[in-house]
């Protein structure tokens, strides 16, 4: 999370500092309307900069994954940049329009404008001739962006509609690029700020084109075929095994992939619940009925059906140098640990098999005896100590219960996958006990919108 904050606040700080360098007299002295012009420019730079970063991250690039902690964390950063773009765009709009309203209401006097000197630079002259079009189109693109980002933040908005409407942001972004290029103060383009903005806009336009052509992640997609389906009614979860015989690069336990079974619905992310064996190229997903799409999978999926799988992504891969690990899986958050146990069982006895002692805590509100039986068998095969807590019978899992069950907890690393609020509560609890949470508390943020 620290690197996410560094990337987010660092971007805002760099853009602001570059603007200060480019603007010879940023805050006056001077009358209100010159200040208003400068604030319009600053807020516009921040808005289009944040939106460009959000567009770039929407491509699911792999190169920043290791530093940012995985694609799940990058989607959190994508969301932050989207919200920042929304806020700064609203500020930009208010600075641009508020003084006009104040003049109309008689609260401000319209400034006297003398004759403007002729523009010698032909490019600047061209931009000046397009100001009216850029302002009009930009305003309508702004309204559309506000609506689309607001819809994306409403979790109850159906995913299939989110998938279709969110892509329209790429179109709005292209219009806003025209608005930004035309209306940005021309002298900025000859400064480091202009070079930085040009790079962001070029990358953002490339990302927007990829999104509009529906080619995001296309180079990491492989075709697969469903070979088996198993439904667990007690926990309302579906286990889907997919054969990926060509092109899948392999994966580490704890990683996830995007699966597409219905083109109109789009790709959905699922944690992979199986180890990887190149001689038997299959991957398994376990999906819980949590929304409109996952609740229909039992009726829509069938053996032999072709699907597309994209990935793998994520850095929740159990890689550390601790000799003791504590795994905590809340509900369907058990899936990365199932994958790790299956891999440990396959590698048992080999020289490169990890030797860490593992305690796995699985807390669940739903019960399916068959699913719990398979979980216990996986734990035995992997030499993992399993602790199952059923909410109605055993109560909630707390940090204190984990510490009582694992005396060596201070020397262990903790790997958590489950509801975000639950994970944050455990993080605070262990942090209060002087546990080094930054170095040894690993939490997957599996929320992709």
List pLDDT tens digits, range 352-395.
666 679 999 999 998 889 999 999 999 999 999 999 999 989 99
Output the pLDDT for position 111: 74
Closest CA to 345 of 312, 377, 319: 377
C-beta of residue 260 within 8 angstroms of C-beta of residue 274: no
- If DSSP codes are grouped into helix, strand and coil, which group holds residue 152? helix
Q: Tell me the domains of the chain and their CATH numbers.
A: 2-112+121-212 (1.20.120.1770), 218-313 (2.40.30.10), 324-443 (3.40.50.80)
Residue 125 DSSP label? H
DSSP track, 35-77? HHHHHHHHHHHHHHHHHHHHHHHTT--STTHHHHTSHHHHHHH
**Integer Cα distance of 284 and 128 in angstroms:** 58
Residue 38: count of CB within 10 angstroms of its CB = 18
**Integer Cα distance of 261 and 416 in angstroms:** 28
C-beta of residue 422 within 8 angstroms of C-beta of residue 396: no
Output the pLDDT for position 309: 95
- Residue 284 has φ and ψ, to the nearest 5°, of -125, 135
Residue 10 DSSP label? H
**Integer Cα distance of 211 and 207 in angstroms:** 6
Residue 302, burial from CB neighbour count under 10 angstroms (0-12, 13-18, 19+) = exposed
**Integer Cα distance of 415 and 254 in angstroms:** 10
Output the pLDDT for position 116: 73
**Integer Cα distance of 255 and 273 in angstroms:** 9
Place of tokens 């690029």: 177
Residue 319: count of CB within 10 angstroms of its CB = 11
Closest CA to 231 of 305, 286, 306, 161: 286
The dihedral built from the CA positions of residue 64, 66, 69 and 72, taken in this order, carries a sign that is positive
List pLDDT tens digits, range 191-221.
999 999 999 999 999 999 999 998 999 999 9
262-281 exposure pattern, b = at least 16 Cβ within 10 A, e = fewer: eeebbbbbbbbbbbbeeeeb
C-beta of residue 358 within 8 angstroms of C-beta of residue 384: yes
Residue 160, burial from CB neighbour count under 10 angstroms (0-12, 13-18, 19+) = middle
Place of tokens 């991250």: 57
- Residue 386 has φ and ψ, to the nearest 5°, of -100, 130
Output the pLDDT for position 115: 67
Output the pLDDT for position 134: 93
C-beta of residue 356 within 8 angstroms of C-beta of residue 340: no
Q: How far is CA 347 from the centre of its chain?
A: 32
- If DSSP codes are grouped into helix, strand and coil, which group holds residue 347? helix
Sheet containing strand 237-243, strands side by side: 268-271, 256-260, 306-313, 221-232, 237-243, 282-288
Residue 354 DSSP label? -
Q: Report the helix count and the strand count for the chain, using DSSP H and E.
A: 16, 11
List pLDDT tens digits, range 255-289.
999 999 888 778 889 999 999 988 899 999 999 88
Output the pLDDT for position 402: 96
Closest CA to 313 of 69, 55, 9: 69
Residue 163: count of CB within 10 angstroms of its CB = 16
Output the pLDDT for position 248: 94
List the chain pLDDT tens, one digit each, 449 residues: 789 999 999 999 999 999 999 988 777 666 788 888 999 999 999 999 999 999 999 999 999 998 999 999 999 999 999 999 999 999 999 999 998 888 889 888 877 776 677 787 888 888 888 899 999 999 999 999 999 998 888 877 887 788 888 889 999 999 999 999 999 999 999 999 999 999 999 999 999 999 999 899 999 999 999 999 999 999 899 999 999 988 899 999 999 999 998 887 788 899 999 999 888 999 999 998 877 777 888 888 999 999 999 999 999 999 888 999 999 999 999 999 999 999 999 887 676 666 679 999 999 998 889 999 999 999 999 999 999 999 989 999 999 999 999 999 999 999 999 999 999 999 999 999 999 999 999 998 876 66
- If DSSP codes are grouped into helix, strand and coil, which group holds residue 144? helix
């Amino acid at each position: 999370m620290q690197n996410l904050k560094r990337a987010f606040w660092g971007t805002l700080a760099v853009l602001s500092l570059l603007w200060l360098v480019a603007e010879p007299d940023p805050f006056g002295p001077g009358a209100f309307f010159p200040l208003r012009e400068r604030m319009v420019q600053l807020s516009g730079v921040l808005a289009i900069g944040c939106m460009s970063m959000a567009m770039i991250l929407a491509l699911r690039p792999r190169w920043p994954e290791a530093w940012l902690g995985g694609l799940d964390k990058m989607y959190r950063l994508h969301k932050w940049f989207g919200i920042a773009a929304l806020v700064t765009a609203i500020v930009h709009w208010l600075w641009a329009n508020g003084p006009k309203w104040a003049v109309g209401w008689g609260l401000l006097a319209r400034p006297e404008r003398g004759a403007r000197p002729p523009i010698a630079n032909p490019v600047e002259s061209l931009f000046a001739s397009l100001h009216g079009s850029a302002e009009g189109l930009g305003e309508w693109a702004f309204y559309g962006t506000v609506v689309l980002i607001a819809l994306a933040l409403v979790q109850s908005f159906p995913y299939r509609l989110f998938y279709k409407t969110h892509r329209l942001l790429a179109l709005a972004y292209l219009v806003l690029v025209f608005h930004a290029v035309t209306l940005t103060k021309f002298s900025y383009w000859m400064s480091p700020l202009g070079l930085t903005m040009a790079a962001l806009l070029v990358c953002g336009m490339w990302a927007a084109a990829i999104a509009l052509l529906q080619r995001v992640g296309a180079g990491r997609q492989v075709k697969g075929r469903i070979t088996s389906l198993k439904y667990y009614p007690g926990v309302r979860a579906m286990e889907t095994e997919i054969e990926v015989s060509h092109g899948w690069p392999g994966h580490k336990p704890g990683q996830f992939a995007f699966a597409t079974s219905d083109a109109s619905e789009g790709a959905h992310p699922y944690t992979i619940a199986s180890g990887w064996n190149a001689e038997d190229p299959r991957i398994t997903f376990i999906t819980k009925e949590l929304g409109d799409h996952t609740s229909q999978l039992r009726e829509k999926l069938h053996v032999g059906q072709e699907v597309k799988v994209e990935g793998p992504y994520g850095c929740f891969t159990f890689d550390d140098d601790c000799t003791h690990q504590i795994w905590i899986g809340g509900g369907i958050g058990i899936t990365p640990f199932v994958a790790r146990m299956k891999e440990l069982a396959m590698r048992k006895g080999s020289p490169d098999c990890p030797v860490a002692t593992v305690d796995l805590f699985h807390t669940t509100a739903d019960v399916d005896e068959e699913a719990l039986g398979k979980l216990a068998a996986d734990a035995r095969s992997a030499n993992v100590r399993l602790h199952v807590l059923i909410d109605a019978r055993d109560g909630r899992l707390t940090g204190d219960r984990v510490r009582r069950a694992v005396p060596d907890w201070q020397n262990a690393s903790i790997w958590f996958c489950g509801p975000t609020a639950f994970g944050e509560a455990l993080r605070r609890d262990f942090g209060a006990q002087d546990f080094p949470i930054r170095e040894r508390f690993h939490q997957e943020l599996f929320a992709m919108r």
